Amino acid sequence: MNSSQFLPINGGTIAYEVSGEGPLVVLAHGMGDSRNAYRFVVPQLVAAGYRVANVDVRGCGESSVGWPSYTRTDIAGDLLAVVRHLGGPAVLVGHSISGGAVTIAAAQAPELIEGIVELAPFTRKQAINLGDLRAKTYRAGMLRLVLTGVLGSVKWWHRYFDVAYPGRKPADWSDQLRDNAAMLGEPGRMKVLQRMGQTPATDAGAQLGNVRCPALIVEGSLDPDWADPRAEGEAIVAALPSGVGQLAIIEGAGHYPHTQYPDETVALLLPFLKAYARA
């Protein structure tokens, strides 16, 4: 197992782990999580011939807390710093809040980014309407996210996980919950989750039209974060320049397709990487 490396950025440190050789692929997880979310994906990408940098985004995992802000623009800057440090260009893969971050990174530094993959991304400004609230899983997910944010509660965060991983759970589910609870129990970590949850996606949405590299948007068909995950994915593709984006749906997946359905996620990643990633 490779050891963690640490990149100093603006008074903080970003932790990451590099595995394999070949074209560079940088992975970024969502809020309240760590790079462990990609534990089933990394070995498959390495075996396919890629150099994989798996990043703990600011405030999460082994990266430092105490950053002044946790916006998608901030995360994008950190990811670009990792790419520069490791010697780009790279394909960026971002989940949830980091899906918005890789959008911004691609728009800000097109010379460094060959392609982006957004997994269940929060890339557009969200607005709750009464029609959406008719969807039972959407209501359940939103309630649990709100209670997590208001109470700073690991219990409610894990209750959100219950609906965000519908049906099939990873084989090491109990270990995942234990490790996640331990991380969020460290000083400042839950506050990071709360602050990320309060950060609107307007900065990412404003950059969608400026993305020039290929973009793969991946949605889980049962993602509780949207009343209609397919419609959300289609809206992101529509906001990108014509011909830039493509949408893929993983049937049965929730908000964490890379952890819940890693083989299906990798099956979408590999053709994209083969087409666009270069050493």
The pLDDT tens digits of the residues spanning 238-270 come to 999 999 999 999 999 999 999 999 999 999 999
CA distance 112 to 87: 9
- 17 bridge partner residues: 54
The predicted structure's pLDDT at residue 2: 67
Distance, first Cα to last Cα, the chain: 23
Enumerate residues 6+ apart whose C-beta is below 8 A from 174.
none
Mean pLDDT by 10 residues, the chain (279 residues): 87 97 97 97 98 98 97 98 96 98 98 98 79 73 85 94 94 97 97 94 96 98 93 97 97 97 98 91
Q: Which domains does the chain have, with CATH numbers?
A: 5-276 (3.40.50.1820)
Q: Please, is 225 exposed, middle or buried when counting C-beta atoms within 10 Å of its C-beta (0-12, 13-18, 19+)?
A: buried
pLDDT of residue 129: 66
> What's CA 137's distance to the chain center, in Å?
21
- Whole-structure pTM value: 0.94
Q: Tell me: the pLDDT tens digits for 130-166?
A: 566 677 787 787 888 888 988 999 999 999 999 999 9
pLDDT at residue 142 in the model:
82
The separation between CA 159 and the C-alpha centre of its own chain, rounded to angstroms, equals 20
Residue length of the chain: 279
Given this model, what pLDDT does residue 88 score? 82
Q: Are 104 and 128 in contact (CB under 8 A)?
A: no
Q: What is the pLDDT of residue 144?
A: 87
Q: How far apart are CA 274 and CA 50, in angstroms?
A: 10
Structure confidence at residue 143 (pLDDT)? 83
State the pLDDT at residue 140: 81
